[in-house]
Structure 1
Amino acid sequence: MTDPQSVPPAYSPAPATQPKGLSIAALVLGIASIPLGLFGVFGLIIGVLAVVFGFVARGRQPYARRLWLVGLILGFVGIVIAIVSIILGVLLVAAALNGGTTSP
């Protein structure tokens, strides 16, 4: 008969991973803020949430640096896109109310 100590285990336990929820949330919101930034205020809110989640994850999850860093960068890009689209929207509305003509 074989020695019980020499028999390998039937399965090996899964390695423990560290939670990355905040970093993943920052990344998903950052990705979503890019196309939603074209819709103005809604994209601005999503971009701000991505930045907030990114900075919170930066403090709590330093091991998930790639995720929260990309989320932060995309969140800031989404904010810029949203601000530009809001400004363009206001200018278009102002031009439409003005009748498309400029006064001397």
Structure 2
Amino acid sequence: MSSTEPDETPSVPVPPAAPEAPAAPEPPAAPAYGAAPVAAAPAAPAPAAAPAAVPYGAAYAAPGPIEPRALSITAMVCGIVGVVLSFFWLGFLPAAAAVVFGHIAQRRERAAKPFWLTGIITGYAGIAISLLWGLVALVPILFALFLIPAAITYS
């Protein structure tokens, strides 16, 4: 073969050479005797470590936003106060407020079910106790008003 004829074997393209990494800077030389010391540059902060993998997925996930519970807690507190005060003749109004707030919270605050349910139950219980105490007080009054005068006139 002559040197002017091209090679018949296919040539493989050669990838370009990778750029060389820059050389590390040399450490500063020790100061000469009697020279003022040179302040060393502050060390770069270490990179932050990657967070560890959480086992079992979202078991440790952050909680969602907190929903409002004001009506539900108001219903529960009014219901408890209504039951306690019903034994002292003063519980009808807080118990009625507990029932109203509890039913409003039932529609608006679904996530606070234990609170509004407690308010509704104790509210109705406070109303029932108040009505029973009212009947206990009303029966002697009615007896005194109607039966005693009738017994006096017929005797």
Cα drift, residue 25 of structure 1: 0.3
2:97 maps to a residue whose letter is L
Distance of 2:148 and 2:46 partners within structure 1:
92
CA distances 1:32-89 after superposition (whole Å, capped 9, x unpaired): 111211244x311111100000000001100000100011000000000000111111
For the pair 1:51 / 2:95, whether they are aligned, the reply is: no
Bigger Cα Rg: 2
> 2:110 is matched with which residue?
62
- Residue correspondences, number: 98
Distance 1:86 1:24, change over 3 A: same
Cα drift, residue 93 of structure 1: 2.4
For the pair 1:32 / 2:81, whether they are aligned, the reply is: yes
- TM value normalised by structure 1: 0.76
More helix per residue:
1
- TM value normalised by structure 2: 0.53
Cα drift, residue 15 of structure 1: 6.5
Distance of 1:25 and 1:71 partners within structure 2:
8
1:82 maps to a residue whose letter is S
Structure 2 residue runs without a partner (length 5+) = 1-44, 52-62
For the aligned residue pairs, the C-alpha RMSD in angstroms reads 2.8
| Greater RCO, 1 or 2 (C-alpha within 8 Å, sep 6+) | 1
Distance of 1:33 and 1:26 partners within structure 2:
10
Cα drift, residue 95 of structure 1: 3.7
Distance of 1:100 and 1:3 partners within structure 2:
96
> 1:76 is matched with which residue?
124
